[in-house]
């Protein structure tokens, strides 16, 4: 997840909020004068960031009672700033309109940083109450912004005026992004249609918040507690983590399997208790679908109708058509075409995987037919039989701290970054588990930014892994340094014990760090050019995963947690040989989610029952019965907790086409994955420019041609279908 603001209010905030960051000037005076004075100067959430490194968030002084008034005050200040721009008597120009908007919203941006920490990392019933109350209010605010006729008239004047031809490429792109952001959010509507558009936005914000909180409630409320007699097959590290999780919940002496992927996944992989595997599986995949107060089916139904109605006001046939118009895919048909090109081979591979599993189960006399809660368990047996590869053996070499060192090594080799931990308490954190690192250029010593890491699961933290940028790079009023963060949900073991990760978790660590590196490497002049076109937003992060199995990383950082011995070359060879193992499962569960997402948003939603629609769609696709969607609809937070990924979950595979192609370029380079010339091109064209370059043009500049699907099909061990 690349943008906190996208999670909060979809494209509305991205289109309308300008510099959502504090000035990095040590005094902050010049930046402060550009903002309308907030009503409550005693509210720490409103205050400009102070301290070292150009100012940092006051995470140690956060007070939830200040959140609602801070949001209200910051929204009011933001509207005042925009009204000044809209009512400027001078003719509209790039400087007095587009750049002025880039400087607006700094107070609101700071408040959103704190708001995002509470809702994602420190949630509680009190936080959720504020979130539920403020979601429609925030939506109403951004509707006011995009429906400000005078402001839009000035933006349009710059976009259509003669001055545009004299602007640089990035300045032209920023102008287009501002114009399109308003136009696609109803700025062209009039009268009742405009009012209805705003009302729909408010209701959708309520529903998205409800959806998210319902999923989190089910993750917190449903915990499976085990006794010592029910731990069969579980590795020592998982048992220790489960004991710690139970103790945290007041159940010392028991073992807790929490209702999150990081806990569920290893349990289903190793537990010999089939009835418990089924119970844990059903609990996890029933989140938001239990027919109780936290059931999300009615929420989804209403949301789909409102999304469809809203884009209908703008003249679009369906929501996906509106959502994809300015993304790399352009149309739902192109996105669907990519997914369906991969689907047959993925399903065919699943059939082979299931046959291998069934053969082992039969040989053991298990007298069962492989079910979804058996897939991970028997896949692990197949892995051992086919590749002599034991996932738990691999895990002994994957220490979280050592992997963090590996991240820093790769960043140093590719980006010339150096990471130095800040231990003097000068940078506040919001939880004791967090660490903060200064990032500098390792040649010149120039300060680049800060990197925050929040690695462990806890009550009130949403599941999964994500990246944020509390402050993006820009050069509006002096160079603003980056404040980036990575957030994970690794299971913390007993005190003093190292945290051991699965290979998948290690890949996720590299993946999310790729997002942070994109933020830290930015060279954009304007904050509105930060980030990426959404359907390639995962490209940089997916690509960074490819450095995990490189020889330089495995030989230096994958060491046994007890002996300190490097991972044996033979074990690394097994890992690489098994790289496409279970690719049918991983590809199919992903494709099913992406296809259902697109089907939801290209179908008339009038009479949709989400559960029935999901079942029917999967049946029509020929979904293998041994697999479910990676994210079932009632818990599909990517799609229904906000709008960034709605009708856009396909983007992971769209980006994977680029990823596989770029990885082949490195594999073929003289210096391999650490080739200096190719690495420099990677940073220059695919990381540093952010959204200032069209992604297709940027990729051509890096690769010398467009990417094709061939590399992805080879990467997953599927037949190459392109001609």
Measure the CA–CA gap between 265 and 634, rounded to whole angstroms. Answer: 19
The fold of 400-536 is Collagenase (Catalytic Domain) (3.40.390)
Q: Is there a contact between 488 and 455 (Cβ–Cβ < 8 Å)?
A: yes
Measure the CA–CA gap between 368 and 358, rounded to whole angstroms. Answer: 8
- Quick one: three-class SS letters along 336-369? HHHHHHHHHHHHHHHHHHHHHHHHHHHHCCCCCC
| Residue 688: C-alpha distances to residues 168, 473, 520, 707 (Å) | 17, 10, 8, 20
Measure the CA–CA gap between 397 and 645, rounded to whole angstroms. Answer: 34
Query: Rounded mean pLDDT of the chain?
Result: 92
* The pLDDT value given to residue 723: 52
Tokens standing for 624?
Answer: 């293998």
Least confident of 20-29, 43-52, 97-106, 562-571: 20-29
* The pLDDT value given to residue 5: 31
Tokens standing for 204?
Answer: 């959708």
Q: Which residue, chain included where needed, has tokens 């028997």?
A: 378
Residue 99: name the closest of 553, 476, 574 by CA: 476
Tokens standing for 10?
Answer: 């979809």
Measure the CA–CA gap between 36 and 258, rounded to whole angstroms. Answer: 46
Q: How far is CA 482 from the centre of its chain?
A: 18
Torsions phi, psi for 476 (to 5 deg)? -65, -50
**Sorting pLDDT into bands at 50, 70 and 90, what band is 531?**
confident
Per domain, the residue ranges of the chain are 4-188, 222-285, 400-536
Mean pLDDT of 338-353: 96
Tens-place pLDDT, residues 297-307: 999 999 999 99
**Sorting pLDDT into bands at 50, 70 and 90, what band is 496?**
confident
Least confident of 11-20, 286-295, 453-462, 593-602: 11-20
Q: To the nearest whole percent, how much of the chain has pLDDT over 70?
A: 94
| DSSP state string for 195-206 | HHHHHHHHHHHH
Measure the CA–CA gap between 100 and 105, rounded to whole angstroms. Answer: 10
* The pLDDT value given to residue 497: 87
Mean pLDDT of 388-392: 92
Residue 472 in this model has a pLDDT that exceeds 60: yes
Q: Is there a contact between 510 and 545 (Cβ–Cβ < 8 Å)?
A: yes
Measure the CA–CA gap between 708 and 379, rounded to whole angstroms. Answer: 31
Q: Decide: helix, strand or coil at residue 330.
A: coil
Give the strands of the sheet with 447-456, arranged side by side: 417-421, 435-441, 447-456, 482-490, 466-471
The contacts found for 177-182 with CB under 8 angstroms, 24 or more apart, are 177/15, 177/528, 177/529, 177/691, 178/15, 178/98, 178/101, 178/528, 179/155, 180/15, 180/326, 181/11, 181/14, 181/15, 181/16, 181/146, 182/15, 182/16, 182/146, 182/151, 182/152, 182/155
- Quick one: three-class SS letters along 86-127? HCCCCCCCHHHHHHHHHHCCHHHHHHHHHHHHHHHHCCCHHH
Q: Is there a contact between 66 and 45 (Cβ–Cβ < 8 Å)?
A: yes
Mean pLDDT of 562-591: 95
The torsion region of residue 28 among left (phi > 0), alpha (psi -120 to 50) and beta comes to left
Torsions phi, psi for 570 (to 5 deg)? -65, -35
Mean pLDDT of 663-677: 97
* The pLDDT value given to residue 115: 97
**Sorting pLDDT into bands at 50, 70 and 90, what band is 536?**
confident
The fold of 4-188 is 1.10.1370
Measure the CA–CA gap between 571 and 191, rounded to whole angstroms. Answer: 67
Q: How far is CA 524 from the centre of its chain?
A: 21
- Quick one: three-class SS letters along 18-66? CCCCCCCCCCCHHHHHCCCCCCCCCCCCCCCCECCCCCECCHHHCCHHH
Mean pLDDT of 52-57: 96
**Sorting pLDDT into bands at 50, 70 and 90, what band is 27?**
very low
C-alpha neighbours within 13 Å on the C-beta side of residue 493: 14
Q: How far is CA 75 from the centre of its chain?
A: 26
* Domains 4-188 and 400-536 fall in the same CATH topology: no
Torsions phi, psi for 596 (to 5 deg)? -65, -40
| DSSP element (H, E) containing 335 | helix 332-363
First to last CA, the chain: 34
| Residue 560: C-alpha distances to residues 548, 554, 565, 568 (Å) | 16, 11, 5, 10
Residue 435 in this model has a pLDDT that exceeds 90: yes
Measure the CA–CA gap between 301 and 483, rounded to whole angstroms. Answer: 38
Residue 689 in this model has a pLDDT that exceeds 60: yes
Residue 493 in this model has a pLDDT that exceeds 80: no
Residue 547 in this model has a pLDDT that exceeds 90: yes
Mean pLDDT of 443-455: 97
* The pLDDT value given to residue 532: 83
| Residue 423: C-alpha distances to residues 417, 437, 481 (Å) | 19, 9, 20
Measured over the CA atoms of residue 61, residue 65, residue 71 and residue 74, the dihedral's sign is: negative
Measure the CA–CA gap between 339 and 319, rounded to whole angstroms. Answer: 18
* The pLDDT value given to residue 22: 32
Q: Which residue, chain included where needed, has tokens 């396909």?
A: 650
* The pLDDT value given to residue 480: 84
Any idea what DSSP says for residue 240?
Answer: H
Residue 8 in this model has a pLDDT that exceeds 50: no
Residue 7 in this model has a pLDDT that exceeds 50: no
Tens-place pLDDT, residues 211-265: 999 999 999 999 999 999 999 999 998 999 999 999 999 999 999 999 999 899 9
* The pLDDT value given to residue 39: 52
Residue 36 in this model has a pLDDT that exceeds 60: no
**Sorting pLDDT into bands at 50, 70 and 90, what band is 25?**
very low
* The pLDDT value given to residue 537: 87
Mean pLDDT of 685-706: 93
Q: Is there a contact between 532 and 691 (Cβ–Cβ < 8 Å)?
A: yes
Query: pTM, whole model, 2 decimals?
Result: 0.86
| DSSP state string for 113-168 | HHHHHHHHHS--HHHHHHHHHHHHHHHHHHHHHHT-HHHHHHHHHHHHSGGGGGS-
Q: Is there a contact between 124 and 460 (Cβ–Cβ < 8 Å)?
A: yes
Torsions phi, psi for 580 (to 5 deg)? -95, 5
């Amino acid at each position: 997840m690349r943008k906190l603001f996208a999670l909060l209010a979809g494209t509305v905030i991205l289109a309308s909020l300008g510099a959502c960051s504090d000035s990095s000037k040590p005094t902050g005076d010049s930046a402060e004068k550009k903002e309308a004075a907030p009503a409550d100067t005693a509210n720490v959430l409103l205050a400009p960031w102070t301290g070292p490194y150009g100012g940092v968030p006051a995470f140690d002084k956060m007070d939830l009672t200040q959140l609602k008034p801070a949001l209200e005050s910051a929204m009011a200040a933001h509207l005042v700033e925009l009204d000044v721009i809209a009512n400027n008597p001078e003719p509209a120009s790039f400087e007095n309109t587009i750049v002025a908007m880039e400087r607006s919203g700094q107070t609101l941006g700071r408040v959103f940083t704190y708001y995002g920490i509470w809702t994602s990392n420190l949630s509680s019933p009190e936080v959720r109450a504020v979130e539920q109350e403020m979601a429609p209010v925030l939506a109403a605010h951004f509707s006011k912004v995009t429906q400000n006729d005078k402001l839009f008239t000035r933006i349009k004047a710059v976009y259509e005026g003669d001055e545009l031809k004299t602007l640089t490429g990035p300045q032209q792109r920023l102008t287009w992004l501002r114009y399109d952001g308003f136009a696609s959010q109803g700025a062209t509507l009039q009268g009742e249609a405009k009012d209805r558009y705003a009302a729909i936005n408010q209701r959708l914000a309520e529903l998205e918040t409800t959806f998210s909180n319902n999923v989190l409630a089910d993750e917190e409320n449903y915990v499976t507690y085990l006794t010592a007699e029910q731990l069969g097959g579980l590795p020592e590290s998982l048992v220790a983590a489960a004991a710690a999780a139970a103790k945290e919940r007041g159940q010392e002496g028991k073992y807790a399997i929490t209702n999150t992927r990081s806990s569920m996944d290893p349990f289903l992989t190793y537990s010999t208790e089939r009835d418990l595997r089924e119970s844990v599986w059903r609990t996890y995949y029933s989140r938001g679908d239990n027919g109780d107060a936290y059931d999300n089916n009615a929420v989804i139904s209403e949301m789909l109708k409102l999304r469809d109605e809203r884009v209908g006001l703008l003249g679009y046939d369906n929501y996906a058509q509106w959502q994809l118009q300015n993304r790399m895919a352009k149309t739902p048909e192109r996105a669907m075409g990519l997914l369906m090109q991969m689907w047959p081979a993925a399903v065919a591979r699943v059939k082979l995987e299931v046959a291998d599993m069934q053969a082992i189960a039969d040989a053991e006399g298990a007298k069962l037919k492989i079910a979804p809660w058996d897939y991970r368990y028997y896949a692990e047996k197949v892995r051992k039989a086919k590749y002599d590869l034991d996932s738990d053996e691999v895990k002994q070499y994957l220490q979280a701290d050592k992997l963090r060192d590996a991240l820093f090594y790769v960043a140093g080799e590719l980006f010339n970054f150096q990471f130095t931990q800040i231990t003097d308490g000068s940078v506040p954190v919001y939880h004791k588990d967090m660490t903060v690192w200064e990032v500098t250029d390792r040649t010149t010593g120039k300060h680049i930014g800060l990197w925050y890491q929040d690695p462990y699961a806890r009550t009130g933290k949403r599941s999964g892994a994500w990246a944020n940028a509390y402050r993006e790079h820009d050069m509006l009023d002096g160079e603003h340094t980056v404040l980036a963060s990575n957030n994970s949900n690794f299971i913390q073991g007993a005190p003093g014990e190292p945290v051991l990760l699965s290979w998948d978790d290690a890949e996720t660590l590299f993946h999310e760090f790729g997002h942070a590196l994109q933020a830290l490497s930015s060279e954009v002049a304007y904050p509105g050019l930060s980030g990426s076109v959404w359907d390639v937003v995962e490209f940089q992060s997916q690509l960074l995963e490819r450095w995990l199995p490189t020889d330089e990383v495995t030989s230096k950082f994958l060491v046994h947690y007890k002996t300190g011995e490097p991972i044996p070359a033979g074990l690394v060879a097994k890992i690489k040989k098994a790289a496409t193992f279970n690719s049918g499962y991983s590809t199919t569960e992903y494709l099913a989610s992406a296809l259902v997402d697109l089907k939801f948003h290209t179908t008339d939603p009038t009479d949709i029952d989400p559960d029935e629609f999901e079942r029917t769609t999967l049946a029509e696709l020929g979904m293998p019965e041994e697999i479910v969607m990676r994210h079932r609809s009632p818990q599909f937070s990517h799609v229904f907790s906000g709008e960034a990924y709605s009708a856009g979950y396909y983007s992971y595979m769209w980006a994977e086409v680029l990823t596989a192609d770029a990885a082949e370029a490195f594999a073929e380079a003289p210096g391999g994955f650490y080739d200096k010339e190719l690495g420099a091109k990677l940073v220059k064209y695919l990381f540093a420019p952010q959204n200032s370059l069209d992604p297709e043009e940027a990729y051509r500049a890096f690769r010398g041609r467009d990417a094709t699907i061939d590399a992805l099909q080879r990467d997953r061990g599927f037949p190459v279908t392109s001609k």
